[in-house]
Amino acid sequence: MRHGKKFNHLGRKSAHRKAMLSNMACSLIEHKRIVTTLAKAKALRVYVEPLVTKSKTDSTHSRRTVFSYLKSKEAAVELFRTVAPKVETRQGGYTRIIKLPNRSGDNAEMAMIELVDFNELLLADTAPKKKTRRRAKKTTAPKAEDTAAKAETKAEDSAEEE
């Protein structure tokens, strides 16, 4: 029985699963965004977020701990040099999962997982926009009420002339 076992095994043995999550975490850190299945994205979020939290304290111990999970020197350096300074004020929630349309081959649920503070499109939208003042346009065209009144007076004048 699997009562209380909430860890998603992703249909793999533990060594294969750890290697896959390590490779996916390295790709996520290097590229800031990857597309994968929804189940793998959810498992990757659980794997990566503690590593990002560890990287916020730059010590030898935290570097060794992170490297033991990532197994890639380039990804560990990238995590400590670029990712950690951007997320040091954030309390958690370093990744975002966005659902995509199902894969056409096997209809698997697809998702994009990305690091939150590295999405330039969303960061540009949240930047405060410069307030602009507009002057009221002075209209030279007569108002609707004035044109209706003039039309009535013209009709009355033409009727009197006849």
Whether residue 153 is contained in a domain is answered as: no
CATH number of the domain at 114, please.
3.90.1030.10
pLDDT tens for the chain, 162 residues long, are 889 988 899 999 999 999 999 999 999 999 999 999 999 999 999 999 999 999 999 999 999 999 999 999 999 999 999 999 999 999 999 999 999 999 999 999 999 999 999 987 877 766 566 777 777 777 666 566 666 666 666 666 666 665
According to DSSP, residue 89 is labeled T
Count structural domains, the chain.
1
Q: The pTM is what?
A: 0.73
Whether residue 49 is contained in a domain is answered as: yes
Which has the closest alpha carbon to 70: 115, 26, 27, 16? 26
Whether residue 39 is contained in a domain is answered as: yes
Whether residue 157 is contained in a domain is answered as: no
Per the structure, the complete domain to which residue 78 belongs is given by: 14-119
Whether residue 45 is contained in a domain is answered as: yes
Helix H or strand E encompassing 96: strand 95-100
